[in-house]
Amino acid sequence: MIIRFNVNGRDTKLEVRGDERAVDLLRETLGLTGTKEGCGTGECGACAILINGRARLSCLTLAAQLDGHSLTTIEGLGTPEQPHPLQQSFAEHGAVQCGFCSPGMIVAAADLLIRNPHPKREEIREGLSGNLCRCTGYSRILDAVEKVEER
Amino acid sequence: MPTGPYDIGPAHVRLDALSKACGTERFSADHYPPGLLWAGAKRAGIPHGIIRRIDTAAARTLPGVHAVLTRADVPGTNRQGIVHKDMPVLCGSKVRHAGDPVALVVAENRDILRRALELIRVDIEPLPAVASIDAALAEDAPFIHAEHGSNILLSAEIRKGDAETAFPDCDIILEETFFTPAQAHAFLETENGLARLDEDGVLHLTASTQAPFRDRFEVGHALGLAPWNIRVTSPFLGGGFGGKDGATVQCLLGLAALKLPGRTIKMWWDREESFLAGYKRHAARMRYRVGAMSDGTLRAVSCLLQFDTGAYAHLGGEIMELGMEHAAGPYRVEHMDCRGECVYTNNPVAGAFRGFGVAQVSLAFEGMMDRLADRLGRDRLDLRRQNALRRGDRNCAGVTLTTSTGLDECLRTLRRHQFWTTRNEWKQAAPRFTRRGTGMAAVFNGMGYGRGLPDNAIAKIELAVNGRFIIYSGVPDMGQGNASTFAQIAGEMLCQDRTRLEVVQPDTEISHPSGSASAGRTTYTYGKALIRACELMTSKLIRRAALMLMIDEPGGFTLVPGAVRHLPTGKEVALSAMAVMLPRDDRVCVSEYLMPVSREVPPTGKDFALGFPHLIFPYAAHLVRIEIDEPTGLVRVCDYLAVTDGGRVLNPLNFHQQIEGGVAQGLGFALMEGLGTCNGQLITKDLSTYLIPTSLDLPDTVSLAAETLEHSGPFGMKGVGEVGMNGPLPAVASALSDALEAYIDRAPVTPEAVLKLLSRGGQA
């Protein structure tokens, strides 16, 4: 089937299969490999993207469900040359180690900040609890989100 | 924004942080070259059995299937393994665990691959599953590796003094048996890679691997290829922790590529396959007997350590060695008799994991110290300080500590901290229906490969034509930040800012063999080699600059960001100007370093051909404050303090990242993780049944450095990748015993286990 959607500001029209997952469409068809896959069953959060401004798991979303919607992936948030404040903050606060969870974590944090621009630390904990990180122990991730506006 | 040199000492931001945060860093899993094919393995599904027949006919005829391969298609030895080559690439006659691969399918896409794998019929005659250490050691147990003639992979002994004759003189003797489960690495990027065989006969592998240079030999041996015809590249890993040290996808991918020349083949294990077929931490049983004098002096330790290596050896013997070498803890003890048995079972394959045998024994030796302190009516921390190893002491394996030994400083720092000084008030202030406890642990972790396996690295640095320096890393970066630290070392040595430094990830064609990313050795060994390479580079650039500036002798020169400056005249030559003048050969410097080994030859440990003993140890003292919810048994970790002696800190950001990460994994090991198997079959197949800590489960760890000077190390450092893992389990056990007045002898300490202890009125 043909779907139309907007990804990172660009209107896109694509033919997709009915059983195709959004994560595969992004990574393989569109080359947006910043979105990661860590489990494929919605448990780790590494594949999170923003759909109409809300964090959604692209491994549990069918490509067809993207029809008519607006997507932002980690690449759409910012680039190394012009990073999103969260991306900059993650780098500066040491919130990135292996970095495989970082895109999903940053997307989840972006979603949190849209809904709650000044979250308390415990609210950040809660808001990011669906995203697993195996490297950091989370403290510096919480720091990065907490202090993102201080600069 | 002007920046100074990317030098040693400050908390510089890692070079890889921003590209990872922006999703532009490409991991192995992120490669999808045009026309790629997908490979997948058919797994046995039965933990132990004889293969009668593998029917691949239906799979072969499925449109879109390019190859269906079985044992008969494997050239070479079909055997992989780091020390013992006992693991088939594809099983032909026997399966030894449920995740054993029996066939390999290559297909046009993943849908066809999945259907083809389902169409393969495997007929296996089941044998009794050997599902535990006791089952493996039973007299009538079937042999898992008949050619080995025993289910004991390695039986070994480390002795110091004579424990048996020392025990009767001890004032107090305590005994206990401890258990720790298999633990999954659960890195976010599961095992994956790509392979392609080119017309010139070179096999190209890109893999998420901790040991690209060793992989060449693994693949070459297994598939009958010359290692120099195999090129391995290792992009940044999405986590490793030991689980990508040793072949995962490499040989299977190599096999597929050999059969389909010119095609790029990708294999990416899904989470369930990673749990099933990936390596795990060894489950262990540890029987301890400890003798001490009434004044608290540790006198004798006798222990039996048993490790379950699962179906294949991997590094089972070497992991057991490290556990045994650390068996009596970081303490002075005159007599130790440690026996070890590493046994084959039909459980998932165990291998390297951060803490490498030491994470297990840390529960045991620290558990014994708590019991001893309580029996003697002594303060738990003071008893440890009384016995703590100091430089010049012989450790429990009889090796003199000639290098930095900062345990006592770690313990003193911990003792001064308010978490320790306020522990009694804090405990008394527990809210209703909760109990509180404070626990501590002293731990260490030998660094490097140990004797018998030269721990060497070869560093290469190039002045590129654009005037920037390129460091060709020979050791992968699995997330610990060594690549960035390499840049920092070069920045310090060559006085360059971060924009003038670049690190190329390992590629066996252009970087030099530097061993595996493991054993806390990565920054230490490669860093030392890199310092020497930078010295050569400096000396060379100064001599070339003198020629270009027509200055008679190369004195009075210094490197500054982007240039070489002649101090007496103030003249400068830009590095970019020099680079275009010099031929490539002249812009490259290579140097190497070999980690020192102990010169002592203790009359023990002869069972270990390699890995015994170690010379350099990082140390740590950990403290945890926990709160127990009485109605549910839930344990909340309120506060965590880790004080670490890792020598000098080169970058506080990277240093604390390593400690905090180790603590997080250690707290998972203590409170929730444990691979579930039933008669050799995996029960915990996903991240909803195998739980790892979330942001709600962990405290904000306070990490402090108790710096020593490790004279042998680069800028005085030693590796801290592993030691942070070893503290949490014994510290949590210690805190629970403080709160419950009952001792913990096994991990993980689940709410069910806590409730059981509570219902017994605190009696374990």
Contact B458, B474 (CB under 8 A): yes
Q: Note whether A85 contacts B: Cβ–Cβ < 8 A.
A: no
Beta-bridge partners for A55: A50
Burial class (CB in 10 A: 0-12, 13-18, 19+), A79: middle
Q: Is A146 in the B-facing interface, judged by CB distances under 8 Å?
A: no
Cβ separation of A79 and B692 shorter than 8 Å?
Answer: no
A74 to chain B: which residues are within 8 Å by CB? 22-23
Q: Is B22 in Cβ contact with A77 (below 8 Å)? A: yes
Residue numbers in A near B480 (CB within 8 A): 97
SS3 of residue B8 by DSSP: coil
For B475-586, strand residue ranges (E) read 501-504, 557-560, 563-566, 572-574
Q: Where are the alpha helices (DSSP H) in A30-120?
A: 74-77, 85-92, 102-115
What per-residue confidence (pLDDT) applies to B381?
A: 98
Task: Note whether B21 contacts A79, CB cutoff 8 Å.
Answer: no
- The residue whose two tokens read 């195999």 is B230
CB B550 within 8 A of CB B486: no
Tell the residue number behind the tokens 């309120």, with chain if given: B638
pLDDT at residue B762 is higher than 60:
no
A83 prior amide bond cis, ω within 30 = no
Q: How close is the nearest chain A Cα to the Cα of B616, in Å?
A: 25
Looking at the structure, give the CATH architecture of the domain made up of residues B17-26+456-594.
2-Layer Sandwich (3.30)
Confidence of residue A150 (pLDDT cuts 50, 70, 90): low
State yes or no: pLDDT of B764 exceeds 60.
Answer: no
CA gap B344, B261 in Å, rounded: 37
In sign, the C-alpha dihedral spanning B420, B424, B429, B435 is positive
Instruction: Tell me the pLDDT tens digit for each residue of B275-298.
Output: 999 999 999 999 999 999 999 999
Q: Is B686 on the interface with A (CB under 8 A)?
A: yes
pLDDT mean over A5-19: 97
Q: Please give the backbone phi and psi of residue A63, each rounded to the nearest 5 degrees, phi first.
A: -55, -40
**Sheet strands (E) in B450-556:** 456-463, 469-472, 501-504
- C-alpha separations of B39 from B104, B389, B705 in Å: 7, 52, 46
**Minimal Cα–Cα distance from B21 to chain A, Å?**
5
Class of domain B31-127+191-268 (CATH, top level): alpha beta
Q: Is residue A92 within 8 angstroms of chain B, CB to CB?
A: yes
Main-chain dihedrals φ then ψ at residue A118, nearest 5 degrees: -130, 65
Nearest CA in chain B to A139: B700
Q: What proportion of chain B, given as a percentage, has pLDDT over 70?
A: 99
pTM of the model: 0.98
The verdict on whether omega for the bond into residue B618 sits within 30 degrees of 0, i.e. cis, is no
Mean pLDDT of B666-677: 98
What is the C-alpha to C-alpha distance for residues B83 and B517, in angstroms, rounded to an integer? 17
| Contact call for residues B492 and B8 (beta carbons, < 8 A) | yes
Mean model confidence pLDDT for chain B: 97
Instruction: Please tell me the distance from the alpha carbon of residue B453 to that of residue B250, in angstroms, as a whole number.
Output: 23
* Residue pointed to by tokens 């290469």: B460
By the 10 Å C-beta count (0-12 exposed, 13-18 middle, 19+ buried), B179 is classed as middle
Query: What residues of B are in contact with residue A126 (Cβ under 8 Å)?
Result: 696
pLDDT of residue B2: 52
Neighbours of B762 (CB within 10 A): 13
* Strand order from edge to edge, sheet including B94-95: B94-95, B49-55, B121-126
pLDDT band at B332, cuts 50/70/90?
very high
Q: What angle do CA B737, B720, A105 make, to 5 degrees?
A: 85
| CATH 3.30.365.10 domain locations along chain B | 17-26+456-594, 355-449+613-759
Chain A CB contacts of B188 under 8 Å are 36, 38, 44, 46, 98, 100-101, 132-134
CA torsion through residues B552, B554, B558, B564, sign: positive
Cβ(B154)–Cβ(B598) under 8 Å?
A: no
Residue B125's H or E segment, with its range, is strand B121-126
**What residue type is B559 in one-letter code?**
L
B355-449+613-759: CATH architecture: 2-Layer Sandwich (3.30)
Residue of B nearest to A135 (CA): B661
- Please answer yes or no on whether B17 and A90 come within 8 Å at the CB atom: yes
Please list the helix, strand and coil fractions of chain A in percent, rounded to the nearest 5, in that order: 35, 15, 50
Residue A61 Cα, gap to closest chain B Cα (Å)? 17
Instruction: Return the H-helix or E-strand segment holding B551.
Output: none
pLDDT digits (tens, 9 = 90+) for A33-45: 999 999 999 999 9
The yes-or-no verdict on residue B707 having pLDDT over 70 is: yes
B440: β partners: B623
Find the distance separating the first CA and the last CA of chain A, reported in whole Å. 46
In the numeric block, which tokens belong to residue B305? 């350590």
B27 has pLDDT over 70: yes
Confirm or reject contact between B23 and chain A (CB < 8 A). yes
Q: Which of A79, A131, A137 sits opposite B661 (nearest CB)?
A: A137
Copy the structure tokens of residue B519: 């054993």
Determine contact: B701 vs chain A, CB below 8 A. Answer: yes
B760 pLDDT band, cuts 50/70/90, is: confident
| Banded model confidence at residue B374, pLDDT cuts 50, 70, 90 | very high
ipTM above 0.95, yes or no: yes
Q: What is the pLDDT of residues B200-232, one digit of tens each?
A: 999 999 999 999 999 999 999 999 999 999 999
- Contact between A48 and A104 (Cβ < 8 Å): yes
> What is the mean pLDDT of the segment spanning B372-386?
98
Q: In terms of Cα–Cα distance, which of B408, B355, B328, B368 is closest to B726?
A: B355
Pairing of strands A70-72, A48-51: antiparallel
Query: Domains in chain A, ordered, with CATH?
Result: 2-77 (3.10.20.30), 85-146 (1.10.150.120)
Question: For a pLDDT cut of 90, what percent of chain B falls above it?
Answer: 98
> Does the pLDDT value for residue A149 go beyond 90?
no
* Separation in Å, CA of B625 to nearest CA in chain A: 16
The string of pLDDT tens digits covering residues B541-575 is 999 999 999 999 899 999 999 999 999 999 999 99
